[in-house]
Structure 1
């Protein structure tokens, strides 16, 4: 474990942290979206965004991409394998994501990562869009 993960959890948050630890990755992603919408905030790392803006203020190129699985194609098993690889999800969660297409595979990734995921999914027979 890294030093960040070993930090002491304040007593008033222990029950909440224990509940969050029991959630699946898909449930956590949904929880993050709900909290972002409810409070009008973003879970994206503000330091990285601030550094990108400071480095190239005149540049208008998009730096953060969402990768959405739009179609599974004919080889669903290969697409599930790719989704598992890029998301770290278990088999059941990855299958649920693929079966529920169109669904977001990854959010807030850089252009190179987004294009790499797109290439892998396309090679497996699926289709993705970068947003």
Structure 2
């Protein structure tokens, strides 16, 4: 029985893993944990990057759609050029990368547009 469960877990898609994580968090209060070693390594790499130069290229990550999900879907559709279904899927699977490799000015403009309609985004 345990072997079958392990096999099923290994064969989950990324979307299914995200759904499982959400379910475990909501229903059982269990949150995924990133090992300290990975987290510390990642933090050290970020610090070195910032020491070298100020970041000028960003990824726009949608953290929350707020109260106006439809407006956020429309904005995502407009920004990405994707179809309505694809835009909705991005908004439904938060956090999700809306746009990659955006210059600083455009990233800040897009962040402001999302915040105006009540969404929460992060620039990384």
TM-score scaled to structure 1, two decimals?
0.54
Residue 101 of structure 1 deviates from its aligned partner by 0.8
CA contact (8 A) 1:78 1:125 kept: no
Q: 2:109 aligns with which of 93, 97, 116?
A: 116
Tell me, which stretches of 5 or more residues in structure 1 are unaligned?
1-58
Alpha-carbon deviations, 1:31-81, whole Å to 9, x = none?
Answer: xxxxxxxxxxxxxxxxxxxxxxxxxxxx71111101000001010001011
Tell me, which stretches of 5 or more residues in structure 2 are unaligned?
1-51
4+ long deviations beyond 3 Å: none
Superposed CA RMSD in Å reads 1.5
**Equivalent residue for 1:92?**
85
Aligned residues: 74
TM-score scaled to structure 2, two decimals?
0.57
